[in-house]
């Protein structure tokens, strides 16, 4: 196990009806105006936005509003939000939505107190802003990305076709309200995309060359099994409130870095998928469902022990001497679960043509995640060169 330094100060409030208490819960964290940031018409149509606004008014919290966040949130809307916050003297950003809205809110929060274009922070991996971000709070409407308890944000720039992430501990929300009744109107495909994203957040931490990680191994394996269990329950009945609550908690644990303590982490699959969704605007969870199995098949020979452990402890494959057969059966069962949930199985089903410029996307992914090396690679149990990353894409065609 590696050295680590971990702090998680998010107040996490769970339960049916808790969204109506947002104002009271938020009061200790701000004495100034709040930006209420949200996505599309569903937030308005469902009455959620009005309910949150009512709770803020009852708590005496002034607010400005900014909607319009779309999947793969854009830096252009973030820039609009930054200017609005400066004009209105906003002191905290409240995201009412899923991962896209929360990531957009985080972009606004870090941009407001810092000069220069916010995209510069996302463009240069490891950038440290001069001033700490504004505090962020959330009312979660879609369990998936885990952004309600993570310090991470991912934005897209339509002008350049880039999709990049930024991490700062000040972006871990001060408050997250998780009300499972808000998930009852979500379509089945959104549940499936979310479950796939959660699972991959764990994969990126679990498949490591770090040894002596028994506790986080066990926690990760239990969380992965629970994601599969609760997603199957929801696939049968989308009105199962407890299953939604369990899945939401899995999504939070999957990405608040508890499962990554003391471990080398990869993020190769996310790097590969970010290029796909940046160029073709595909759903993030759908892109991961296509990339992950191809990636696993490419890298498992470099650390068969951890992949065999996953196949037996998570996917339920009976262990035997033929390690390769165990691992490949585990991957096949993962793909079968994806299929159960209606997720795409290949690039064609994802809507990406076979003649796409996978080489360019692979080179871009390696450049972003390569740490400035002369020959950049994607980190993981085996560092992938651009040529190897291209082969992963092609294996998924």
Q: What is the pTM of this model?
A: 0.94
Q: Is residue 30 part of a domain?
A: yes
- Cβ neighbors of 273 (< 8 A, separation 6 or more) are 284, 287, 288, 291
- Tell me whether residue 3 is in a domain: no
Interatomic CA distance for residues 232 and 390, integer angstroms: 33
- What average pLDDT score do residues 158-168 get? 90
**pLDDT band with cut points at 50, 70 and 90 for residue 190:** very high
Q: How far apart are CA 198 and CA 7, in angstroms?
A: 21
What pLDDT does 128 receive?
87
Task: Check whether 372 has a pLDDT greater than 70.
Answer: no
Pairing mode, strands 90-97 and 136-140: parallel
Residues 206 and 288 in one domain: yes
Question: Across residues 132-157, what is the average pLDDT?
Answer: 96
Which range is least confidently modeled, 102-111, 157-166, 232-241, 340-349?
157-166
Measure CA of the first residue to CA of the last residue in the chain; give whole Å: 37
Helix (H, G, I), strand (E, B) or coil at 92: strand
- Check whether residue 163 and residue 203 sit in a common domain: no
Does the pLDDT value for residue 98 go beyond 70?
A: yes
* Same domain, residue pair 144 and 191: no
Over range 298-326, report the average pLDDT.
97
CATH number, residue 345: 1.20.1090.10
The CATH number covering residue 25 comes to 3.40.50.1970
Looking at 130, 160, 182, the residue that finishes a domain is 182
Is 5 part of a structural domain of the chain?
no
Tokens of 22: 């947002």
Q: Which residue has the higher pLDDT, 43 or 224?
A: 224
Beta-sheet strand order (sheet of 136-140) = 11-14, 175-178, 136-140, 90-97, 33-38, 63-66
In a shared domain, residues 348 and 251: yes
Residue 6 lies inside a defined structural domain of this protein: no
Q: Say which residues have a Cβ less than 8 Å from residue 20's Cβ, sequence separation at least 6.
A: 51, 54, 55
Asked if residue 157 and residue 40 are part of one domain, the reply reads yes
Give the whole-angstrom CA distance, residue 190 versus residue 225. 19
Among 120, 148, 182, the domain boundary falls at: 182
- pLDDT for 119 equals 95
Confidence check: pLDDT of 329 > 90: yes
Same domain, 192 and 171: no
Query: Do 195 and 147 fall into the same domain?
Result: no
Q: Is residue 2 part of a domain?
A: no
131 with 197, same domain: the answer is: no
Whether 372 is in a domain gets the answer: yes
- Nearest CA-CA partner of 105 in 122, 114, 119, 92: 92
Check whether residue 177 and residue 193 sit in a common domain: no
130 pLDDT more than 80 = yes
The separation between CA 137 and the C-alpha centre of its own chain, rounded to angstroms, equals 16
User: Do residues 155 and 17 both lie within one domain?
Assistant: yes
Same domain, 46 and 178: yes
Length reported for the chain: 397
pLDDT range class, residue 161, cuts 50, 70, 90: confident
Q: How many structural domains does the chain have?
A: 2
Report yes or no on 1 lying in a domain. Answer: no
Q: Please tell me the chain's helix, strand, coil percentages from 3-state DSSP, rounded to the nearest 5.
A: 55, 10, 35
Q: What is the mean pLDDT of the chain?
A: 96
What is the reported pLDDT for 368?
A: 85
> 3-class DSSP state for residue 257?
coil
304 and 366 together in one domain: yes
**Two tokens at 172?**
């871990």
* Structure confidence at residue 42 (pLDDT): 87
pLDDT (average), residues 142-167: 93
- pLDDT value, residue 324: 98
Note down the domain range covering 114: 11-182
Compute and round to an integer the Cα radius of gyration of the chain.
20
The C-alpha angle 97, 99, 105, rounded to 5 degrees, equals 70
pLDDT at 44 over 80: yes
- Residue 35 included in any domain: yes
Instruction: Among 182, 215, 241, identify where a domain stops.
Output: 182
């Amino acid at each position: 196990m590696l050295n680590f330094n971990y702090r998680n100060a998010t107040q996490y409030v769970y339960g049916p009806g808790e969204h109506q208490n947002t104002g009271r819960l938020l009061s200790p964290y701000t004495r100034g105006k709040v930006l209420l940031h949200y996505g599309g018409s569903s937030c308005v149509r469902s009455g959620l936005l009005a309910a949150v606004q009512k709770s803020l008014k009852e708590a005496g919290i002034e607010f400005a509003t900014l909607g319009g966040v779309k999947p793969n949130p854009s830096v252009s809307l973030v820039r609009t939000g930054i200017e609005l916050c400066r004009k209105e003297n906003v002191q905290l950003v409240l995201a009412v939505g899923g991962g896209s809205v929360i990531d957009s809110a985080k972009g606004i929060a870090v941009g407001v107190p810092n000069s220069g274009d916010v995209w510069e922070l996302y463009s240069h991996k490891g950038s440290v802003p001069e001033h700490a971000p504004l505090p962020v709070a959330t009312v979660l409407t879609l369990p998936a990305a885990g952004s309600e308890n993570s310090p991470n944000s991912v934005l897209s720039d339509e002008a350049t076709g880039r999709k990049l992430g930024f991490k700062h501990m000040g972006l871990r929300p001060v408050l997250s309200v998780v009300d499972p009744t808000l998930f009852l109107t979500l379509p089945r495909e959104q549940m499936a995309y979310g479950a796939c994203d959660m699972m991959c957040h764990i994969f990126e931490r679990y498949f490591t060359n770090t040894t002596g990680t028994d506790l986080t191994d066990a926690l990760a394996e239990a969380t992965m099994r629970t994601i599969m269990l609760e997603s199957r329950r929801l696939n049968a009945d989308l009105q199962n409130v407890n299953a939604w609550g369990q899945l939401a908690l899995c999504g939070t644990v999957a990405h608040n870095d508890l499962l990554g303590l003391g471990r080398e982490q990869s993020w190769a699959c996310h790097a590969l998928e970010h290029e796909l969704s940046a160029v073709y605007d595909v759903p993030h969870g759908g892109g991961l469902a296509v990339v992950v199995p191809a990636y696993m098949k490419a890298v498992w020979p470099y650390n068969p022990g951890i992949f065999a452990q996953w196949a037996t402890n998570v996917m339920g494959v009976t262990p035997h001497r033929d390690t390769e057969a165990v691992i490949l059966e585990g991957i096949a069962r993962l793909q079968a679960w994806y299929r159960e949930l209606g997720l795409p199985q290949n690039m064609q089903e994802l809507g990406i043509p076979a003649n796409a410029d996978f080489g360019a996307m692979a080179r871009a992914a390696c450049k972003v995640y390569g740490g400035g090396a002369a020959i950049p690679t994607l980190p993981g149990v085996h560092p992938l060169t651009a040529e190897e990353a291209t082969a992963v894409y092609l294996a998924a065609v």
